[in-house]
Amino acid sequence: MNMKLMKEFFATFVIINTVSLLLACNVLAAEYDIPEGKQRLIGQIQYHQVEQGDFFQKIAEQYNVGFLALLAANPSIDPFLPEVGTRVVIPSAMLLPFIKQEGIVVNLPELRLYYFEPDKNKVHVFPVGIGRQGLATPKATSYISEKRKDPVWRPTKAMKERYLKEKGVVLANEVPPGANNPFGKYALRLGTSEYLIHGTNKRFGIGMRASSGCIRMYDDDIKWLYDNVALQTRVRIIDQPIKMSYENGQRQLIEIHEPLTEEPGKQTIKLANAVQRFVGSNRNYWHQLVPVIEKPTGLVIELEEGEQDEGKTY
């Protein structure tokens, strides 16, 4: 199903399931202790048994994970009409990105935001929505320059022209706070740029490439950041589709996500020298990795000795 049809189907489906979605529990960001030494594994995999009325957006909100992350981890399950009793894998185990552990880190391919709480050895993890193809969220190093409560949305000239051309919609010069405001209730500005980390009035889009370049979050999540993140906090937006770790100096863990691309259908995993050195010449390891390279699941996999179709997942 292409993205346009998927969105249209989902819009209809959400209307039918509004009541059940509102009753779903939206779990706040997961908080983890930062592992000691060079270890990077945090969290643990969870499972959800489908109940009547469940669908992936509802499940994603219940466990505070991204929609596409849930889709990648469960490729054989219908995201809109999952069969009752089916076991859904919740991708709630992950490897920390390979970067200095401070401030806010947004790793674009995995559609996650990490906040390393200063002086507490804690990391908080949130699903985010990022810029769609053609309007990609840029890689950058910046900082939180401004915090806005009940922000006013002022579409840019380029955005007005795009909406008029693509949708025949004339956007207002500004939209005041309220239910129709695309920024939601809170926004954090990045440096002197036009880019924001903000809430949204459209819940479908968190954990997807669906914005005009800004970083979207669930309402509860952006409120938490607004309340807890200080001005001048460093922000780094990175592109790491592959993350690796030696746990306890022995276990080899790897996590692979769909790489970003501006051309639909042309995603390719580029195996950097560091990845090839990590896997080495062990044919069994490569045998376990090939299916994941061809179709990334975003799950943490332990490479294991012996003939196996796939490694152990976390």
Tokens coding 250: 């022995």
DSSP assignment string, the chain:
--HHHHHHHHHHHHHHTHHHHHHS--PPPEEEEPPSTT--EEE--EEEE--TT--HHHHHHHHT--HHHHHHH-TTS-SSSPPTTPEEEE--EEEPPSS---EEEEEGGGTEEEEEETTTTEEEEEE-BEEPTTSPPPPEEEEEEEEEESPPB---HHHHHHHHHHH-----S-B-SSTT-TTTTEEEEETTSS-EEE--S--TTTTSEEESSSEE--HHHHHHHHHHPPTT-EEEEE--SEEEEEETTTEEEEEE-PPP-SSTT-------HHHHHHHTT-HHHHHHHHHHHHS----EEEE-SSS-SSPEE-
User: Is 198 a residue of the active site?
Assistant: yes
Tokens describing residue 52: 């009547």
Residues across the chain: 314
Query: 25, 124, 214, 257: which one is catalytic?
Result: 214
* Residue whose entry in the numeric block shows the structure tokens 């990648």: 72
Q: Of the residues 25, 48, 198, 287, which is catalytic?
A: 198
> In whole angstroms, how large is the CA radius of gyration of the chain?
20
Q: Which residues are catalytic?
A: 198, 214
